């Protein structure tokens, strides 16, 4: 029920106000002593006289405000006191000022509007709290969704790489090495956050299009014929088409499409040159060469990192973005060695897991010709 506190040192006026407001359906609490009234709590509206002993109306409202900050304040004042009382309105302490003698319609209308104002403010605060709570829930839901997308994306990438690995057993660990090499070089040139993830994803999936290349070409032990090279060189486009329709892999798909392009425009499939090649593909091109030189091949052993560094230096400005080549050469060799060792440890753990699997490890296929 709507509750109003009424304070006036004139008991006759107090009784009249009480009768009027009770007739309007309000729960009315009255006090003729403002010092006692100052201890009241639990009301929505207060109506007080201005001139009273011990505490005037402004002082009383100030005292009540400490314990009842949301209560709407009304004040009665005689015409002679109007200027002084108006200061209360100007300071924002009083919702409305009523003159003595009052008109019945003005009094009841003002009290009704005071209660309406209280309810509006209370509803606004409640809704604001609910909105804040819902926003917090929404943030938590979005954070959980982002986490699930990351987990599912990681699972999808692992699944795609595993699918290719069944056909080309060299691909998985080569892809993981170049993805981490690419991420480290991307960090060196100032990429961060999601941009780093895109570079790593694109490098990890760079050869995924080889799933679309016929086994007779992909697994051919000898050199490819010119016609076979035409099909092999379609694997960037095959990979792009596989990934581009997945919104969270669209940027990585561009790296897959352009990973065989060269700074001087002599790559494929689009003969792009310079900065027309996306940064992630330019980074990958360098990381891929480093891994190719330092990794074992069927026809030779892996060579030292110093050989790779010399090759990067020699081909800066032709095969490689010269700024990226300079950034690569500024990174200590020990960092590349650490990344390789981390992947080797992962490979050993994976091998142990396969060996303990009841079905055993997958049967190795012939080495791929590569492209």
> For residue 360, is it left (φ>0), alpha (ψ between -120 and 50) or beta?
left
In sequence order, what are the residues at sequence separation of 6 or more whose Cβ sits closer than 8 angstroms to the Cβ of residue 165? 171, 172
Range name among 67-76, 195-204, 244-253 with the lowest pLDDT average: 244-253
pLDDT digits (tens, 9 = 90+) for 207-243: 888 888 887 887 787 888 999 999 999 999 998 998 8
Range name among 59-73, 106-120, 342-356 with the lowest pLDDT average: 342-356
**pLDDT for residue 263 is more than 80:** yes
Domain holding 90, by residue range, is 3-124
Final residue before a domain boundary, out of 100, 124, 148: 124
The CA angle 248-267-297, to the nearest 5 degrees, is 85
pLDDT score, position 31: 95
158 domain-assigned: no
| Residue 332 pLDDT class (50, 70, 90 cuts) | very high
Final residue before a domain boundary, out of 91, 124, 157: 124
The whole-number average pLDDT for the span 133-158 is: 72
What is the rounded CA–CA span in Å between residue 143 and residue 240? 29
Residue 98 contacts residue 109 (beta carbons within 8 Å): no
Name the packing angle between helices 305-315 and 279-294 (round to 10°): 140
364 domain-assigned: no
318 domain-assigned: yes
Q: Kindly report the CATH number assigned to the domain that includes residue 243.
A: 1.10.3210.10
> For residue 193, is it left (φ>0), alpha (ψ between -120 and 50) or beta?
left
Token pair, residue 367, equals 């080495």
**Whether residue 178 sits in one domain with residue 88:** no
**Whether residue 202 sits in one domain with residue 102:** no
What is the count of structural domains for the chain? 2
**pLDDT for residue 107 is more than 70:** yes
**Whether residue 249 sits in one domain with residue 106:** no
163 domain-assigned: no
148 domain-assigned: no
Final residue before a domain boundary, out of 124, 151, 180: 124
**Whether residue 190 sits in one domain with residue 58:** no
């Amino acid at each position: 029920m709507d509750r109003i506190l009424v304070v006036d040192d004139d008991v006759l006026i107090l009784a009249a106000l009480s009768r009027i407001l009770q007739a309007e359906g309000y729960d009315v609490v009255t006090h003729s002593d403002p010092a006692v009234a100052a201890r009241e709590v639990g009301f929505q509206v207060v109506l007080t006289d201005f001139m009273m002993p011990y505490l005037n109306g402004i002082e009383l409202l100030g005292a009540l405000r400490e314990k009842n900050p949301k209560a709407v304040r009304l004040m009665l004042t005689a015409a002679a006191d109007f200027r002084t009382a108006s200061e209360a309105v100007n300071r924002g302490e009083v919702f409305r000022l009523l003159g003595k003698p009052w008109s019945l319609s003005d009094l009841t209308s003002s009290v009704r509007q005071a209660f309406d104002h209280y309810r509006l403010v209370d509803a606004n605060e409640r809704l604001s709290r609910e909105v804040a709570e819902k926003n917090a829930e929404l943030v938590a839901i979005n954070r959980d969704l982002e986490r699930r997308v990351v987990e599912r994306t990681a699972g999808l990438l692992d699944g795609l790489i595993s699918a290719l690995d069944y056909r080309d057993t060299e691909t998985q660990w080569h892809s993981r090495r170049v993805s981490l090499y690419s991420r480290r070089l991307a960090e060196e040139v100032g990429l961060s956050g999601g941009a780093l993830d895109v570079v790593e994803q694109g490098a990890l999936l760079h050869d995924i299009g080889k799933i679309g290349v016929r086994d007779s070409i992909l697994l051919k032990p000898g050199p490819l014929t010119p016609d076979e090279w035409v099909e092999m060189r379609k694997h960037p486009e095959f990979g792009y088409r596989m990934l581009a329709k997945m919104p969270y892999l669209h940027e990585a798909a561009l790296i897959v499409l352009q990973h065989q392009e060269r700074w001087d425009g002599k790559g494929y499939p689009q003969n792009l040159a310079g900065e027309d090649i996306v940064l992630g593909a330019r980074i990958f091109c360098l990381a891929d060469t480093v891994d190719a030189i330092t990794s074992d091949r069927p026809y030779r052993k892996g060579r030292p990192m110093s050989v790779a560094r010399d090759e990067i230096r020699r081909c800066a400005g032709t095969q490689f973005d010269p700024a990226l080549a300079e950034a690569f050469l500024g990174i200590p060799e020990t960092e590349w060695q650490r990344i390789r060792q981390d992947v080797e440890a992962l490979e050993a753990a994976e091998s142990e897991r396969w060996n303990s699997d009841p079905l055993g490890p997958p049967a190795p296929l012939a080495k791929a010709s590569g492209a």
